Amino acid sequence: MPFIANTAEQQKQMLAEMGLTMEKLFSDIPKGLLCGQLNLPDGLPEQEVREVLAGLAGKNSIDLTLFLGGGFYDHFIPAAVYSIISRSEFYTAYTPYQPEVSQGTLQAIYEYQSTICRLTDMEVANASIYDGGTAMYEAMMMALRITGRNKVIIDTSVNPIYRVMIESYTRNLKIELVQTHCATGLVDREQILAKLDNDTAAVILQNPNFFGCVDDFSDIAEAAHKKGALLVVSCYPISLGILKTPSSMGADIVTGEGQSLGMPMSFGGPYLGFMATRMEHVRKMPGRIIGRTKDRNGTDCFVMTLQAREQHIRREKATSNICSNEALCAMTALVYLSLLGKEGLRETAQLCADKASYAYSRLTAIPGVKSHFKAKWFFNEFVLDLPKDAADVIGKLIEKGFAAGFPLSRYYPDMKNCILVCVTEKRTKQQIGMFAEALESVL
């Protein structure tokens, strides 16, 4: 049904026809919920609106050189990505409801699923979910369903925003969330083992973790499996170009934020949650799954499969009632990965690591700046101890044209002067040098 605007005169006529007043028409809605008169200014001509909006937009600090990561990353996006995804055949935000007539979209999602499987080395991926945080929440719920248990261990080195999301989603559920504290940059095995028991459904970890440190969770996977628990690993997809895959560590469910795969950083989204698991758990996985089959003429075709798990069929017992496919973002990730190819992804990841390593040595050479953790291995982010309050330093560097990093005290109160610095393949040697000089000048 189209939106049909009506005039005050037409409203009067319609109400008269029904024998109602506007108050009576909306009498079922409690008074406190009605918005009444909206406090909106009078309309403006389009040209003036553009000027007002341009003025507001001008207040943003743009063109900063980014050394800020913390879950979202400034990677180069080839122009072809946008050209391809903006074709009208692909330009939908959603899985089509009549899948059979949208073979192209279904094929694209199927190929997206295949690339996620290749990337994570897992057996089956879904058509995507909202973002990295909800993907982790869904993985946790999936682990609870698989094991029939209700205790979950999550480490503080997992992205704090994801942890806030999980706490928020599970506040009214009977789930025991146990937190282990990361003090060295790497997951403390002793704490995990002490908390891991026969009631544990899952251990949730992240690699590289929020501090950028790289770990190998193979031993934790083994310990978890011995207790009948699952290992959930959230990962940074670009890093998989060079790092050991979660699958080879023994992870049972792999999730992550897909923004780094061709999506610009844009005030919180829309982004992409990806999720993959082993075939034995496929029926417990939420979200849409596109499958490949043959039609009655023996021709390859694509269908939505295993739908009985989903909310439109399974209703309140569905694997999830809050998830949705992010078709256009999934398409973006697919196009980005296809353009880079295997070699391109590996090179991008290597460049990130090499440039971060160079930046680390430049920045830690500044008097008073030290590495916070002793842990040696990081991917493209690292934590520095500054001699001053990190938030103040970041504020001063914005004036010099740099988004210097993330002040960790925002989520870790004991890390007062700590800054999380990120370097992607986009940063040049010159930019890194200028950043080091700028940082030194404000300390």
Partner 1 sequence: MVVKGLLYTKDHEWAKIEGDIAIIGITDHAQNQLGELTFVELPDVGKEIKQKGELAVVESSKAASDVYSPVTGKVIEANTKLEKNPEIVNDDCYGAGWICKIQITDKGSTQNLIDAAQYEIYLKGL
DSSP class per residue in 233-278: EEE-GGGGGTSPPHHHHT-SEEEEE-TTTTPPP-TT-S--EEEEE-
C-alpha to C-alpha distance for 124 and 288, rounded to whole angstroms? 12
The angle formed by the CA atoms of residues 59, 64 and 69, to the nearest 5 degrees, is 115
C-alpha to C-alpha distance for 301 and 1, rounded to whole angstroms? 32
Piece of 82-90, 176-184, 308-316, 405-413 that binds partner 1 (CB under 8 A):
308-316
DSSP letter assigned to residue 88: T
Q: Which is nearer to partner 1, 301 or 391 (CB)?
A: 301
**Contact with partner 1 (CB under 8 A) among 317, 343, 374, 414:** 317
Q: Binding to partner 1 by residue 321, rule CB under 8 A?
A: no
> What are the helix (H) ranges across 95-245?
103-120, 132-147, 160-170, 189-195, 218-226
Piece of 153-161, 199-207, 270-278, 310-318 that binds partner 1 (CB under 8 A):
310-318
* Token pair listed for 292: 């490949």
Element (H, E) at 79: helix 79-85
The angle formed by the CA atoms of residues 114, 120 and 121, to the nearest 5 degrees, is 75
* Minimum CB–partner distance for residue 146 and partner 1 (Å): 11
* Token pair listed for 53: 């909006």
C-alpha to C-alpha distance for 413 and 355, rounded to whole angstroms? 29
Q: Binding to partner 1 by residue 295, rule CB under 8 A?
A: no
Instruction: Give the burial string for 275-296 (b: 16+ CB within 10 Å, else e).
Output: bbbbeebbebbbbbbbeeeeee
Q: Binding to partner 1 by residue 100, rule CB under 8 A?
A: no
**Contact with partner 1 (CB under 8 A) among 173, 194, 308, 443:** 308
Q: Which is nearer to partner 1, 195 or 292 (CB)?
A: 292
* Minimum CB–partner distance for residue 211 and partner 1 (Å): 40
C-alpha to C-alpha distance for 5 and 305, rounded to whole angstroms? 40
* Minimum CB–partner distance for residue 314 and partner 1 (Å): 5
* Minimum CB–partner distance for residue 289 and partner 1 (Å): 13
Is 115 in a helix, a strand, or coil?
A: helix
Q: Binding to partner 1 by residue 313, rule CB under 8 A?
A: yes
Piece of 57-65, 83-91, 304-312, 367-375 that binds partner 1 (CB under 8 A):
304-312
Piece of 19-27, 93-101, 203-211, 312-320 that binds partner 1 (CB under 8 A):
312-320
* Minimum CB–partner distance for residue 316 and partner 1 (Å): 11
Q: Which is nearer to partner 1, 228 or 269 (CB)?
A: 228
Element (H, E) at 439: helix 429-442
**Contact with partner 1 (CB under 8 A) among 278, 281, 314, 396:** 314
**Contact with partner 1 (CB under 8 A) among 87, 189, 226, 283:** 283
Piece of 226-234, 256-264, 302-310, 362-370 that binds partner 1 (CB under 8 A):
302-310
Q: Strand pairing of 176-180 and 151-155?
A: parallel
Q: Strand pairing of 402-403 and 406-407?
A: unpaired
Instruction: Please give the size of the binding site for partner 1, defined by CB under 8 A.
Output: 7
Q: Which is nearer to partner 1, 18 or 313 (CB)?
A: 313
Q: Binding to partner 1 by residue 309, rule CB under 8 A?
A: yes
* Minimum CB–partner distance for residue 34 and partner 1 (Å): 41
* Minimum CB–partner distance for residue 317 and partner 1 (Å): 7
Q: Binding to partner 1 by residue 443, rule CB under 8 A?
A: no
Q: Which is nearer to partner 1, 179 or 307 (CB)?
A: 307
What string marks each residue from 131 to 160 as x (binds partner 1 by CB under 8 A) or -?
------------------------------
Q: Which is nearer to partner 1, 310 or 326 (CB)?
A: 310
Nearest 10 degrees: CA dihedral of 315, 320, 325, 326?
Answer: 140
- Tell me which residues touch partner 1 (CB under 8 A): 283, 307-309, 313-314, 317
